[in-house]
A = this chain, B = another copy of it.
């Protein structure tokens, strides 16, 4: 039986994309690569809904987050960090590592940030230069209201806005230009259905202005060499060519489906997942009014050993789910439904959960109420 890989990335990869990833190598300074990088950059820009600059970095999404910070922030710059979970905290750690002067605005795990709070903090701290925010928080299954956050950060205050959209863009609407987002970071292993190892990053004119002033030391993630080399259809450092081959086919698949349809599919499957989980007596962890369309976090029923639950799902039913991270370890489990995911994949998750709880002798409805 095929494994039903339902973690929030890497996602399962359709066969034609996998096949593309195993094409023979080419010269990364030759004409075939020129065609490849121009194709994937253009198509990713379309999916990002941006006409601004966009670069494809050979790195995990975390590398893209680091690029967002080191290219625009100087040590001592005042930065507002909005965090609602583990990945928001990671953005905080990156900014802290590079010596930003941080104000942290956080919401309880499982809740989105209230845009009014952002307004309050920016009102009270006029010297803040930039705001960093997670669009979709993978660790808790929450999607922040980025459209309204941007209206405040950009529309009212004209600050620089750096967005970790790794687990949203390509799956959940995140129109970069319409929302006036300065830097937006994506990751190849999410809704794009490609292998992990590439991070996409869009850069607005205002972000380039910030670049000119930013004194943070950088080299590998310096976006100026990326810009210069892209002008001649290359990357400054040897790129992950195989993943780029895969990404090209993936982008064509998404374009063929139509990004609006891709977003609708994610919304529909996510809703089905939440309803399925509730129907068998489990409780959602995240505030449902801001529930993510790429990952659903579920409270671990009392008296259930998380490792046993996930282990049984995996070994008995070939369903691979994600546990909770850091302080959420053992308290939640997470179902990824981004990228290559169908209704029957989610149906299989729900049915396997029912069977697993039976096997473990647990009634989730009762356990959750305990």
Contacts and interface: CB of A to CB of B under 8 A. Distances in A.
B25 A93 contact: no
Interface size, A (range): 35 or more
Given A61-B237, A63-B237, 17 more contacts: A5-B24, A10-B238, A13-B25, A18-B22, A21-B21, A30-B320, A58-B197, A60-B220, A60-B238, A62-B220, A62-B236, A98-B217, A195-B240, A195-B241, A196-B238, A217-B217, A242-B243
A6 to B, nearest CB: 9
A44 interface: no
A25 B189 contact: yes
Nearest to A30: B320
Contacts of A18: 22-24
Nearest to A2: B24
A9 interface: yes
Interface string A143-165: 00000000000000000000000
A94 B242 CA distance: 26
Given A99-B217, A217-B97, A320-B30, A60 B237 contact: yes
Contact of A10 (B25, B195, B217, B246): B25
A3 interface: yes
Interface in A308-344: 314, 320, 322-323
Contacts of A2: 24
